[in-house]
Amino acid sequence: MIFELEGEPARVIKAGEAFWEPGGDVIHYQAANNLPDRTTKFVIVMVCAPDQQMLVLVSPEELEQRKDRRAAPAN
């Protein structure tokens, strides 16, 4: 699976590996299938502080404002 967080280059998570993402003001850009012949599946466990939103969607305008925080694609 291709996994990308704000400020980090996209990376491949392999079968059996664990990953995490921090809470707070960090955009999760993608969790995408990188296998041409199979479907990628993964299990998510989400923990949230009481009385806080679990997910906050980002508008296209905010993505544009924060584009300088996205890591450059690998060559």
Q: pTM score, two decimals?
A: 0.75
Query: In one letter, which amino acid is 70?
Result: R
Q: Give the model confidence (pLDDT) of 43-65 as tens digits.
A: 888 888 899 888 888 899 999 99
**Residue 23 pLDDT > 80:** no
Q: Give the model confidence (pLDDT) of 33-46 as tens digits.
A: 999 999 988 888 88
Domain that holds residue 18: 1-75
Query: How many domains, in total, are found in the chain?
Result: 1
